């Protein structure tokens, strides 16, 4: 069965060195925190973790924007906050395309291989996106650089873009659900709280979660 899907591979960069210098127990703590963070982000954005790959993961999305948002949020959180999962950097590769869905839970296709190779080629902290997904980056994301990447097992160099959070100036506020910093120009969706103040959201999903929050919680926050 042939289907269209978007794929991302994520890898904890420097995990082998971490086990050598910090010990297996600390490495397990880091990996546990990383997996918990990735589960939270993917479940909130409707992206499936297709499989765990030791110190990494393969993500699958029916739609590309939620997958890109998940990767951008993951890189932002790992790069900016403290805690066990943030003592190392991550790298990722993202593509989309037609693939063969095999036995209901495995995907066979060139774009899957390219996503994995892009992840391998990325530097620590870098997310490399295939041209097939770049135009679907959210408003709060940005293309940081265009590159030609030589991938293992691929004869010709392929174009790729390094992506990340858009640089925002004054007026940044945080999405009340995911905590991403936004401005009026980078927010995907806007709304108003009980007092009429503007509230910025990175996605319609975060807006929906905010609107469905318990009434008592909404009252406590607006009080």
pTM: predicted TM-score of the whole model, two decimal places: 0.87
One domain for residues 100 and 210: no
**Residue-range definition of the domain harbouring residue 120:** 2-165
One domain for residues 8 and 50: yes
67-114 confidence digits (pLDDT tens): 999 999 999 998 876 555 555 789 999 999 999 988 777 899 989 999
Q: How many folded domains does the chain comprise?
A: 2
Q: Please say if the pLDDT value at position 17 is more than 70.
A: no
The CB-side HSE value for 143 (13 A sphere, CA atoms) comes to 14
Average per-residue pLDDT in the chain? Answer: 86
Helices then strands, counting H and E runs in the chain, come out as 7, 12
Separation of alpha carbons 29 and 36, rounded Å: 11
Q: How confident is the model at residue 168 (pLDDT cuts 50, 70, 90)?
A: low
The token pair at 135 is 């135009």
One domain for residues 211 and 138: no
% residues pLDDT > 90 (the chain) = 62
For position 154, what pLDDT does the model report? 72
N-terminal to C-terminal alpha carbon distance within the chain:
54
The DSSP output letter for 84 is G
One domain for residues 19 and 116: yes
For position 223, what pLDDT does the model report? 39
Residues sharing a CB contact under 8 Å with residue 6, sequence separation 6 or more, in sequence order: 60, 61, 62, 63, 64, 67, 68, 94, 95, 96, 133
One domain for residues 38 and 8: yes
One domain for residues 29 and 136: yes
23-57 confidence digits (pLDDT tens): 677 778 788 888 999 999 999 999 999 999 988 99
Separation of alpha carbons 139 and 135, rounded Å: 10
185-203 confidence digits (pLDDT tens): 999 999 999 899 999 999 9
One domain for residues 54 and 21: yes
One domain for residues 80 and 143: yes
User: CA nearest 97: which of 160, 159, 6, 9?
Assistant: 6
Separation of alpha carbons 49 and 66, rounded Å: 13
For position 137, what pLDDT does the model report? 96
One domain for residues 146 and 214: no
Q: Which of 59-63, 128-132, 167-171 has the lowest mean pLDDT?
A: 167-171
For position 41, what pLDDT does the model report? 95
- The answer to whether the CB of 55 falls within 8 A of the CB of 11 is yes
Domain end, chosen from 123, 141, 165, is at: 165
For position 171, what pLDDT does the model report? 72
For position 14, what pLDDT does the model report? 67
The token pair at 153 is 């097992």
∠ CA 108-55-153 to the nearest 5 degrees? 40
One domain for residues 128 and 213: no
The token pair at 29 is 């703590």
CATH code where residue 106 lies: 3.30.70.1230
For position 191, what pLDDT does the model report? 94
**For residue 120, with 0-12 CB atoms within 10 Å meaning exposed, 13-18 middle and 19 or more buried, which class applies?**
middle
């Amino acid at each position: 069965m042939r289907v269209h899907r978007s794929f991302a591979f994520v890898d904890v960069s420097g995990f082998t060195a971490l086990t050598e210098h910090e010990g297996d127990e600390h490495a397990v703590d880091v990996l546990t925190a990383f997996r918990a963070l990735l589960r939270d982000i993917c479940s909130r954005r409707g992206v499936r973790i297709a499989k765990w790959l030791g110190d990494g993961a393969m993500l699958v999305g029916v739609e590309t924007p939620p997958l890109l948002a998940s990767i951008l949020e993951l890189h932002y959180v790992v790069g900016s906050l403290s805690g066990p999962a943030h003592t190392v950097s991550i790298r990722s590769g993202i593509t989309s395309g037609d693939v063969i869905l095999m036995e209901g839970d495995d995907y066979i296709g060139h774009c899957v291989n390219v996503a994995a190779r892009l992840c391998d080629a990325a530097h620590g902290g870098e997310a490399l996106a295939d041209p097939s997904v770049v135009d679907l980056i959210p408003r709060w994301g940005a293309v940081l650089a265009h590159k030609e990447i030589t991938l293992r097992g691929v004869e010709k160099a392929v174009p790729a873009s390094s992506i990340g959070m858009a640089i925002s100036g004054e007026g940044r506020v945080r999405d009340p659900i995911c905590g991403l910093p936004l401005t009026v120009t980078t927010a995907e969706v806007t709304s108003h709280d009980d007092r009429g103040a503007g509230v910025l959201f990175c996605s319609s999903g975060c807006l929906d979660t905010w609107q469905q929050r318990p009434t008592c919680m909404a009252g406590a926050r607006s009080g």
